[in-house]
Amino acid sequence: MGNITLVLPNELQKKMKEHSEIRWSEVIRKTIQKKIEDLDLLDKLTLKSKLTHKEAFNISKKIDASVARKLGLIS
């Protein structure tokens, strides 16, 4: 099993210590695992796409802005 080292801001580390009942390494492991699963799904969905990364990113920004407007988060 691999190891990872994180550099955290002092304030974040202090807040984590206030909740020593939490297994922070498990929280981080699950978060990384979820992100990898999301990326794997994204890769699978876009496998045959002819869009470039830049084009897909621009479409994503437009969708995000549209959703934000519908939710009233931006005007």
Please give the Cα distance from 8 to 27 (Å, whole number).
Answer: 15
Furthest CA-CA distance within the chain: 49
Tokens of residue 44, six digits: 């699978």
Is the per-residue pLDDT at 75 higher than 80? no
Is the Cβ–Cβ distance between 16 and 24 less than 8 Å? yes
Q: What pLDDT score was predicted for residue 26? A: 96
Q: What pLDDT score was predicted for residue 28? A: 96
Which parts of 1-75 are beta strand (E)? Answer: none
Question: 8-58, pLDDT tens digit by residue?
Answer: 999 999 999 999 999 999 999 999 999 999 999 988 988 888 888 899 889
